[in-house]
Amino acid sequence: QVQLVESGGGLVQAGGSLRLSCAASGRPFSRSNMVWFRQAPGKERDFVAAISWSGGSTNYADSVKGRFTVSRDNAKNTVYLQMNSLKPEDTAVYFCAADTEWSPFRASLSRTKFNYWGQGTQVTVSS
C-alpha cells in the first residue's frame, strides 16, 4: 500500500524554523515529482513548493521564495521542506503529494489533483 507520511510540524515563534519531512512507502518515489501544499483554516489548498524527481529542478510560491527550501533524498524515499523566517501567515496544515512517474515537471506545477497525498502536518507560527 502506497503511503506518504508528513512529520516535523509544530508550534514555533515568528522568525523561527521548522523542517518538514514527507516519507514515502509502498513503492519508490524516485521517479516522481513531489509537491508541497498548505491549507489554512477556511482557505483553499495552495501550492508551496515542488521538486523534480531528480532534484534538479525546484519551484516555489512567491510567498515563500527565499525562506523555504525543498529537497529530497531518493535513497531514503523522503522529501523535505526547510522553512526559515516563519511568519504567522505560514500557519496551515502542510501536505505533500506525489505525481505519477516520469511526469514532466511543468505538468506537476500546474496540477492540483494527485494520486498520492499525505495526511498533513500542522504548522502554527505565533506572533
pLDDT at 46: 97
pLDDT (tens, 9 = 90+) of the chain, 127 residues, equals 789 999 999 999 999 999 999 999 888 789 999 999 999 999 999 999 999 999 999 999 999 999 999 999 999 999 999 999 999 999 999 999 999 989 999 999 999 999 899 999 999 999 9
Q: How far apart are CA 61 and CA 52, in angstroms?
A: 15
pLDDT at 78: 96
pLDDT at 2: 80
Q: Are 45 and 38 in contact (CB under 8 A)?
A: yes
DSSP 118: B
Q: How far apart are CA 8 and CA 68, in angstroms?
A: 14
* Radius of gyration, alpha carbons of the chain: 14
Q: Which of 40, 46, 55, 53 is nearest to 107 (CA)?
A: 53
